[in-house]
Amino acid sequence: MKIICSKEELVNGINIVQKAVSAKTTFPILEGILIEAGDQFKLTGNDLELGIECFVNADIREQGSIVLNSRMFGEIIKKLPDSEVLIEVKENNNVIIECDNSHFELKGMPSEGYPSLPQIESEQTFTISQKELREMIRQTLFAVSVDENRPIFTGSLIECIDKELTIVSIDGFRMAIRKTVHENDASNFSVVVPGKALNEIVKILQTIDDNVTICSSQNQILFDIGNCRIVSRLLEGEYLNYRSIIPKEYETSVRANTKEMLSSIERASLITLDEKKYPVKFNISDDKIIISSNTEIGAVREEVRVDVNGENMTVGFNPRYFIEALRVIEDDEINMFFTTSIGPCTIRPLEGERFVYMILPVKINNE
């Protein structure tokens, strides 16, 4: 194998596929990046749960393949001069890397032992812009559970029903839902993608209008971004029927400015030593919400002007759950619906059903 490639493009490709390289594994080959030069020049990372392959523009002089240690290869390329890079595989898997006056020789591993990415049948597909998918994942990923005792909730539900794509994350204390409708051809499917994989995918997706195609199979999902393909295993098990737990009725509705609510809760949480032990208290009455917290080190009181319809109410919440939801909402104003002082709060847009955030309350002392 012999190729010539710009350092910038090579670094970009390495950064992408490294997200799928195992940091600790009993299989040394999984700590490597598969480098292939065929009709195209391709880099691949694969930890057997998440696999990423990226095509990089290169002048292919001789075809071939090799596996190089990801960390070593990445550090070398990043520190090379900003120029053209030559990569050549010699006998006995010895690899030459040259750039201007720099010359490296590395010992590679034969590519035959590297696991190939699974081939995904494209029967169940949905096409969406990178920008929109990135926002949908970002606006729900924070609510994925980290509790390994309930593995199904360590991922997000991605389902497509009648051309409506929905992403749902639940951790037992809150729920985040994002929806979008597209009129392109789409198949119905429902899968649960590990949060770890989505966390890496959201870093790769760009805020551009170029399309990404989602393809689902029985136990794998593919995100095809054109020059990059990301394959993740799916979580097995039945996801919660999230529609059934969203309250249909409420006692109090509040229309509020998103940034004002966020800023007030952030300030109120500054003296919170323990979010579970010291929740913030919402006192809803007339045309305001008084947000307060009392802890061992002090007290805080914030007043936010809002439009209130319904009963006066006092309810407590973990401030972090509200903050993380409000931070990802881009709408200037939101509607918040409160069921009872011990019931969940749901946050919705003023119009439509693009997002729903549900947060369970925390017991408070009503002194």
Q: Where are the beta strands (DSSP E) in 123-204?
A: 124-129, 155-161, 164-170, 174-181, 189-194
Nearest CA to 222 among 252, 248, 191, 249?
A: 191
Q: Calculate mean pLDDT across residues 137-152.
A: 95
- Provide the 8-state DSSP code for 239: P
Residue corresponding to tokens 């019931």:
343
Structure tokens belonging to residue 332: 């200037």
Structure tokens belonging to residue 195: 């949060």
Give the CA diameter of the chain.
Answer: 80
Contacts of 275-279 with C-beta under 8 Å, sequence gap 24+, read 275/318, 275/319, 275/320, 276/318, 276/362, 279/316, 279/317, 279/318, 279/319, 279/361, 279/362, 279/364
* Whether residue 233 has pLDDT greater than 90: yes
**Could you tell me whether strands 252-257 and 280-285 are parallel, antiparallel, or unpaired per DSSP bridges?**
unpaired
- The pLDDT tens digits of the residues spanning 70-113 come to 999 999 999 999 999 999 999 999 999 999 999 999 999 999 99
Query: How far is Cα 357 from Cα 146, in angstroms, rounded to an integer?
Result: 18
348 in helix, strand or coil? strand
Query: How far is Cα 284 from Cα 191, in angstroms, rounded to an integer?
Result: 39
Query: How far is Cα 328 from Cα 149, in angstroms, rounded to an integer?
Result: 27
- The pLDDT tens digits of the residues spanning 280-314 come to 999 999 899 999 998 888 899 999 999 999 999 99
Note the residue count of the chain: 367
* Per-residue pLDDT, 154: 97
Structure tokens belonging to residue 160: 């497509």
Nearest CA to 315 among 274, 362, 269?
A: 362
For 21, phi then psi, to 5°, come to: -90, 135
* Per-residue pLDDT, 24: 81
Q: Calculate mean pLDDT across residues 136-147.
A: 97
Structure tokens belonging to residue 225: 């971004």
Q: Which residue has the higher pLDDT, 167 or 185?
A: 167
Nearest CA to 98 among 114, 117, 85, 115?
A: 85
Query: How far is Cα 159 from Cα 317, in angstroms, rounded to an integer?
Result: 29
Whether the Cβ atoms of residue 238 and residue 229 lie closer than 8 Å to each other: no
- pTM for this entry: 0.91
**Could you tell me whether strands 2-6 and 59-62 are parallel, antiparallel, or unpaired per DSSP bridges?**
antiparallel
Residues of the chain with pLDDT > 70, as a percent, come to 98
Q: Among 226-230, 324-328, 347-351, where is mean pLDDT lowest?
A: 226-230
* Per-residue pLDDT, 60: 97
* Whether residue 134 has pLDDT greater than 90: yes
Helix (H) or strand (E) holding 268: helix 258-268
* Whether residue 123 has pLDDT greater than 90: no
* Whether residue 243 has pLDDT greater than 90: yes
Chain centre to alpha carbon of residue 273? 28
197 in helix, strand or coil? helix
Q: pLDDT confidence of 122, banded at 50, 70, 90?
A: low
Query: What is the set of domains in the chain, with CATH numbers?
Result: 2-113 (3.10.150.10), 124-243 (3.10.150.10), 248-359 (3.10.150.10)
Q: Which residues of 278-305 are buried (b: 16+ CB within 10 A; e: fewer)?
A: bbbbbebeeeebebbbbeeeeebebebe
Nearest CA to 51 among 170, 182, 196?
A: 196
* Per-residue pLDDT, 367: 46
- The pLDDT tens digits of the residues spanning 248-270 come to 999 999 999 999 999 999 999 99
